Amino acid sequence: MAFPYLETVVGFMIVMYIFETYLDLRQLAAHKLLTLPRSLQGVISQEKFEKARAYSLDKSYFSFVHDFVTIVLDSAILWYGVLPWFWKVSGNFLVSIGLNAENEIIHTLGFLGGMMIWSQITDLPFSLYSTFVIEARHGFNKQTIWLYIRDLFKGILLAVVLGPPIISAMILIVQKGGPYLAIYLWGFMFALSLVMMTIYPILIAPLFNKFTPLPEGSLREKIEKLAASLKFPLKKLFVVDGSTRSSHSNAYMYGFFKNKRIVLYDTLIQQCKKDEEIVAVIAHELGHWKLNHTMYTFIAMQILTFLQFGGYTLVRNSTDLFRSFGFDSQPVLIGLMIFQHIIIPVQHLVSFGLNLISRSFEFQADAFAKKLGYAGPLRAGLVKLQEENLSAMNTDPWYSAYHYSHPPLVERLSALDEVDADSKKEE
């Protein structure tokens, strides 16, 4: 008797939905608390707390609805054989317009085109509500509907331009890969990730945002001085117009080897009135670079990618697996999609592990900034960002441990205080 792959996958999806909903309910109870955590009392203003609480509750209620609709649709699509049905429909459509559906690449691209349309239709109402109702209600959304539509079509155009050659290459690799298929697939994805990390900030990101050099002044001088002191090969320092879409703030860095760049959101500059607070945030980011966190994460992702492709090669020719999901044939893309479903339990465990590592890295980067003398400004900057972004003030420990890749503010401030205490002991 064949193993019930479909039933197992759908069953686990539902079990995970129930578990994550339980965590969401725990977090909802934390959002409803009427008082700040003791360590944040006198640090966060009551006005900001009330606004953050309202924002968190709105997002939480929205998430309940979105997650419910998602699990119902995803489970129904698998259980009722929508994927094999649509595979056949897409093939018939291609034949009707004179294309060769026997060509797996053409058939796959037609199938993906229909799936992309379906995805846009089902996601659009939630995206619009999130952007123009929830984000707007709490003062974050700065987009007009026309800017939203323009970004949407740019994203679709990029998918149409970049998707076909990538998918076609993967199908050809699987068809020709032989016993070294996992190595070839990993090599292709590794090269693709390097190319995308190179071209994204230069060619793709500017399609959506405007990047301008940070003007000369004290802030630029302080950041450049900090970078030089750490021997960080800073080549360019940009400000991005994040305020055209949202008032949320951020900062990040990118680039290979000796061609590093730092990007500040204009909202970050507006919210952190003191240069030292911004420089402290940059010191934290530079800590990630100095401590090789980015490299460790990249290597870990490459290892995981290789292991996933290795697992895929073990089941890609399983007739029982494809038949369990309603497929008579064994298309490459469908095999990859099914494999992603059957390793969902492993993915959840890996994601949890990566979150634990990421949280550890955040504490280490904070400690690094503290050692550079930025404990005070970093503390003030973290508080300011928490307030201005209306981030959740009360967090459930179970929910936080499972979902958060960054520690809650309470934990970060406590860790900074512990570092201070250790320093005083050494003195």
Long-range CB contacts for residues 87-94, cutoff 8 Å, separation at least 24: 87/111, 87/327, 87/331, 87/334, 89/114, 90/114
Residue 38: which residues within 8 A CB-CB, separation 6 or more? none
293 annotated to bind ligand: no
Question: What are the φ and ψ backbone dihedral angles of 60, each rounded to 5 degrees?
Answer: -65, -45
Decide: 242 and 141 in contact? Cβ < 8 Å: no
Decide: 249 and 265 in contact? Cβ < 8 Å: yes
Q: b vs e for 16-25, b when ≥16 Cβ sit within 10 Å of the residue's Cβ? A: ebeebeebbe
- Beta-sheet strands, E only, within 14-57: none
Q: b vs e for 80-105, b when ≥16 Cβ sit within 10 Å of the residue's Cβ? A: eeebbebbeebbebbeeeeeebeebb
Q: Which of 285, 388, 396, 411 is catalytic?
A: 285
221 annotated to bind ligand: no
285 flagged as catalytic: yes
Question: What are the φ and ψ backbone dihedral angles of 28, each rounded to 5 degrees?
Answer: -60, -40
Q: Which of 135, 366, 388, 396 is catalytic?
A: 366
362 annotated to bind ligand: yes
Q: How far is CA 414 from the centre of its chain?
A: 26
Q: Which residues are annotated as a binding site?
A: 284, 288, 362
Q: Which residues are annotated as a binding site for Zn(2+)?
A: 284, 288, 362
Residues with catalytic function = 285, 366
